[in-house]
Amino acid sequence: MGRAVTVAACALNQWALDFEGNLKRIVQSIGIAKSSGARYRLGPELEICGYGCLDHYYESDTLLHSFQVLAKLLESPATQDIICDVGMPVLHRNVRYNCRVIFLNKKILLIRPKISLANTGNYRELRWFTPWTKARHVEEYFLPRIIQEVTGQETVPFGDAVLATKDTCLGAEICEELWAPNSPHIEMGLDGVEIFANSSGSHHVLRKAHTRVDLVNSATAKNGGIYILANQKGCDGDRLYYDGCAMISMNGETVAQGSQFSLDDVEVLVATLDLEDVRSYRAEISSRNLAASKVDPYPRVKVNFALSSSDDVAVPICMPIQWRHHSPEEEISLGPACWLWDYLRRSKQAGFLLPLSGGIDSSATACIVYSMCHQVCLAVKNGNADVLADVCRIVNDETYVPEDPREFCKRIFTTCYMASENSSQDTCNRAKLLAEQIGSYHINLNIDAAVKAVVGIFSMVTGRTPLFSVFGGSKRENLALQNVQARIRMVLAYLFAQLTLWTRGMPGGLLVLGSANVDESLRGYLTKYDCSSADISPIGGISKTDLKNFIQYCIENFHLTALRSIMSAPPTAELEPLVDGQVAQTDEMDMGMTYAELSIYGKLRKIAKTGPYSMFCKLINMWKEICAPREVASKVKHFFRMYSLNRHKMTTLTPSYHAENYSPDDNRFDLRPFLYNTTWSWQFRCIDKEVSKLEQKEEISLVVDTD
């Protein structure tokens, strides 16, 4: 009858500019799709060159190598008898476009340029590409000779068109177009398109997956149809982790779900669906049919090929499923762990080194590495030969097979507790016990000799010796002495990262992990060039509140009992002298605000886009039960003073896994000055006027009540 279509959506771990590896993964995915019976294969956005090429998109080499890979794909036997939909940049009339290239049996059917470019948050597509603004318009694209020699075509259609096969009609969307208020699938659906294919380069953010799923399902809930979403996965060279989640939906319901986090470089999701279900669903929506009668038609590219077979009555059809979402704690356990694995294997280093202080942040970082070891052992157990090959290369042992996460952790993870005279025995014991439970190679050392040497040089040159506040020193002296300790720890971390494996008779070096959370970065509660300065940080985009919940998750799921005492201890930097052998310094007292308050400030500043005055206006309502307006004003002023005073630290912030939409990452997500007028005189005066008005109203109200 020709009604059951089998389609495939791919999640590929592509790497920017890794043309050889990208080609291999694309071909592998097409082979899997074909062997599963699919007759249409959809890949991620810009999969040929990798999404994260950034300013390399300006280079003609990127265009050249993309076409060279396309030629290899066109020639490959794997791409025969299946419609292949791949992503790459294309230069048309001297304008660069982000495109889908759709081909079948060595013939390019259509080059479809992206219409709505992503240009918010981490996305800067308008920097490199131009959106196609000619709706329902197609032009001739003159193919480069390298492609003409394979296809025998001189020109192919380029523009906003759809494919008309022998049994259905298929239209393309590209990532951001699904999120746009005027998504192309709306008009395409009204014009009779039954299958929508979206190739994405969508990265992970905590609690974001459900939004993407809801958008896909709602795309066909009103209008009917089949929606296929392919997405990139993994770390392709920077701070983002693309989280897969390939999916196929029909008539508003999910019928196939891909994994969000895995170490598989190639994942292919295949579903067989009945076109008649789309047609019958649309038949009873009269409002849709009335709108369809007035829609402007899309140019159709006729394809002498069918996505179904003539004898498909007995073909099993996929049924709706319930989407399974990860909890935020699971996302923290899995996302940064997969990102770390990609970074480790692609950087060709031999493991990680982490300064482990015995506090929540460094312990959470250690737990993420331990989770990574779990994922690696599980992938090898499930037969992932690529992961096993990477493991053998990292540990320099071709016969090694990781089975126990603790044993694997011992090989690739070094933790180091750097004690000073200001460190407590409690944090030392906590760090040691956690290291034992996760299996890391643990080092205990004392930095006092190095600190005294550095301060001694200063005293010898100046004739002055700085003192801590508790011994009569000024605030300047106190802060400088804390910073010396913190910075020496960073220097020692890199020294041990370079030479620890050498002392153990093992080759290679270690990547240094940082462990400053997103709230501390926002407030600037860190020493510039201390242990927050590292090669990469898996928790730099995660809030303290979420990290505490993650620690509890690790206690319950990894049975790391050492974390219980870490959870119950107050966060402290341990940079000031102990009092009667006990820690007197705590983070929240030092900061003048709680971590819970910091999370609120962060979300209001970045997500709600508030300055000091607007933040005050929002918080007097949010906190009206717990704070008077004057107290709210004081808190807001203190936050903005500290934020602006310390903003310069963000220019050297360690590259961190992007997990929160209020991240202060100065690289490209949160672009702000780093030299502020920290008095905020005009803004704070506006707040003071509002406080005075509110207090006057309160006084009048009290007088009236008394009368």
Active site residues: 45, 114, 175, 357
Residues 514 and 536: their CA atoms lie apart, in Å, by 6
DSSP tag of 492: H
**Regarding beta strands 95-104 and 83-92, do their DSSP bridges make them parallel or antiparallel, or are they unpaired?**
antiparallel
Q: Burial level of 581, CB count in 10 A (0-12/13-18/19+)?
A: exposed
Q: Give 642-665 as a DSSP string.
A: HHHHHGGGGGGPPPB----TT---
CA-angle at 172, arms to 285 and 280, nearest 5°: 25
Q: Look up residue 182 and give its amino acid.
A: N
- Helices and strands (H and E) in the chain: how many: 24, 20
Q: Look up residue 197 and give its amino acid.
A: A
Q: Measured on CA atoms in the order 540, 544, 549, 555, is the torsion positive or negative? A: positive
- Residue 199's SS3 state is strand
630-636, Cβ contacts within 8 angstroms, sequence gap of 24 or more: 630/691, 630/695, 633/687, 633/688, 633/690, 633/691, 635/593, 635/597, 636/601, 636/612, 636/687
- With beta carbons less than 8 A apart as the criterion, state whether 199 and 100 touch: yes
Residues 514 and 655: their CA atoms lie apart, in Å, by 9
- Write the CB contacts of 86 (distance below 8 Å, at least 6 apart in sequence): 26, 43, 47, 48, 70, 73, 100, 101, 102, 103
Residues 701 and 113: their CA atoms lie apart, in Å, by 63
Provide the CA 231 distance to its chain's centre, in angstroms: 13
Residue 104 pairs with which residues in a beta bridge?
107
Rg (CA), the chain: 29
